[in-house]
Amino acid sequence: MGYQKIFYQISVQSVKVFVTVANAFVITKYKGTDPEIGSWNPLQSGWDGGYYAQPRVFTLGANIALK
């Protein structure tokens, strides 16, 4: 039994799957927690001061349209 037959039986018209990743990796020689911390202030650019790094965010979702 193929997936197309199953989708037909439950009246699925379309399925869209998406994945997004934010802050997956940082390429730098900076040894601190996060090189972007303090970048809004030119006097503190690259100085993290013990702040937490930006989180990695993984998002997975699906959009299912029914008939």
Print pLDDT tens along the chain (67 aa).
577 787 778 888 888 999 999 988 878 887 776 766 665 667 766 666 667 777 899 999 999 998 8
| Half-sphere exposure for 60 (CA within 13 Å, toward CB) | 0
Q: Domain spans of the chain?
A: 3-66
pTM for this entry = 0.56
